Amino acid sequence: MAAAPGLPRVVVVGLGPAGPDSVTAAARAAIDRVDVRFLRTARHPAASVARTERTFDGRYNDADTFDEVYRQIVEDLVAAAVEHGEVLYAVPGSPFVLERSVTTLLADERVEVEVVPGMSFLDVAWARLGVDPVESGARLVDGHLFAEAAAGERGPLLVAHAHARWVLSDIKLSVDDPPVEPVTVLQRLGLPDEAVFTVDWSDLDRSFEPDHLTALWVPALTAPPGADVVRLEALMATLRERCPWDREQTHASLRRHLQEESHEVLEALDAVVDAREAAPVEPDDEPGTTPFALDERLVTAYEHLEEELGDLLFQIVFHARIASEAGAFTLADVARGIHDKLVARHPHVFEATGEVDPATLVGQWERLKQAEKGRESVLDGIPATLPALARAAKVLGKARTVAAGSALEGVADVAASGRAVEVEPDEGSVGEALLAVVAVARAAGIDPEGALRRRTDALAAAVRATEVGNGGAGPH
């Protein structure tokens, strides 16, 4: 968008997909006219045309995410435009094709932005592939966002920004059922060392060395990313139409099923935790991988957890379907809502806020949530139907995020509350003792609800063992 006249000005030019010959006359004229010039990256075969040593390559080393890089680039460009009145920003290819720094800049109302179109790598790619993108229904996706952008797609796809092995690995792993047709790799299009060749999907991240001028042509995806969720949603719609039981269900009638499935997931999680604690530890595990060997018990526990999570997911899809029939929201709205909420609650990840320690993050999360929901207290929103121990743990945790010291001083210690129970065991003293134990558990990083459940399970097992030893459960 163009800002109001009189604002500092940024002129954006595209350097084309290859060498200096791919730079348009209009881009060259803008470069000649504007004295203060910036390159997004010097790692481009036509970078010399910009005739400047000012690049943003250093920003890629300073930032943790590409979104942060783009925000920093825009801040630098705005500051330079304010200082000099007008600056030029040269980007690879076309400014309008997968150039998120330009998209971010265009949304900034502090500057006026003029964009000089440039030749895109797409023009060369279609020629090398012999493909009409319109006739074939091809879609362009960013390799960094492949899992999201290609969700539900069956191809063909032209994947840009496939510049590193980790990007290729993420692309490969995002597809559960690999495509049969080979992938065409396009590298350095329009340059003397141009390379166009095919690889099998299984070799995508290990058979060649990617660079910043690498793209992929994926003719077809057998099972596109996200397709299984799409199929589940379609199945839910069919069940609501054709199954008498599913058709008559309501939010109210499904409530107990949601509760049951949630508890079954918790049981499955406990089984995984127990199996992991008993599993042998691999001494040379790689960063980002599980340090536990997947022995038979752990594999079984994970299989059970997968099944129970599926049952819980079905309940979520069911409620979303009923809501969509009422014109309220869809499953896509649910996914979009939680995505946007998590982004808003993680400014330390998606905004340039600097390093934040974990303890500070908890308080920040609660303040953002409180402002977002318009709540008067951090305690608003804690379900009254939570089990008592879990609710006590929640209240104590929330209180600490707002430094409610005076209120917390009223919580007795375990020893004192225990003595009070011995002297006068009534509801008040027992409640005080339980709250004191919950406070100790939280301080030690222990879930009191889980701790009591495990201890009760152990007691139940002992009772059963005693019954067996006594020859049965006794008279009924």
Residue (of 156, 192, 163, 153) closest to 60 by Cα position: 163
**pLDDT value of position 127:** 92
**Separation between Cα atoms, residue 291 and residue 288, nearest integer Å:** 9
Q: What is the pLDDT of residues 224-253, one digit of tens each?
A: 667 778 889 889 999 999 999 999 999 999
Q: What is the pLDDT of residues 266-315, one digit of tens each?
A: 889 988 988 888 766 654 444 444 555 567 888 899 999 999 999 999 99
Mention every residue, 6+ apart, whose C-beta is less than 8 A from residue 206.
165
Residue ranges per domain, the chain? 9-119, 124-218, 227-350, 383-466
Percent of the chain topping pLDDT 90: 31
Q: Residues 175, 152: contact at Cβ < 8 Å?
A: no
**pLDDT value of position 147:** 80
**pLDDT value of position 359:** 58
**pLDDT value of position 224:** 65
Q: What would the CATH number be for the domain defined by 227-350?
A: 1.10.287.1080
Query: 9-119 domain in CATH 3.40.1010.10?
Result: yes
State pTM to two decimals.
0.52
Segments of the chain scoring below 70 in pLDDT: 1-5, 223-225, 279-294, 351-386, 392-393, 397-414, 417, 421, 470-476
**pLDDT value of position 2:** 44
**pLDDT value of position 279:** 67
**pLDDT value of position 460:** 80
Residue (of 336, 268, 342) closest to 307 by Cα position: 268
**pLDDT value of position 265:** 93
**pLDDT value of position 115:** 94
- Written as six digits, the tokens of 118 are 């440039």
**pLDDT value of position 285:** 47
Q: What would the CATH number be for the domain defined by 124-218?
A: 3.30.950.10
Residue (of 407, 402, 340, 390) closest to 365 by Cα position: 402
**H/E/C letters for each residue in 195-207?**
EEEEECHHHCCCC
Q: What angle do CA 131, 136, 142 make, to 5 degrees?
A: 80
**pLDDT value of position 59:** 84
**pLDDT value of position 288:** 45
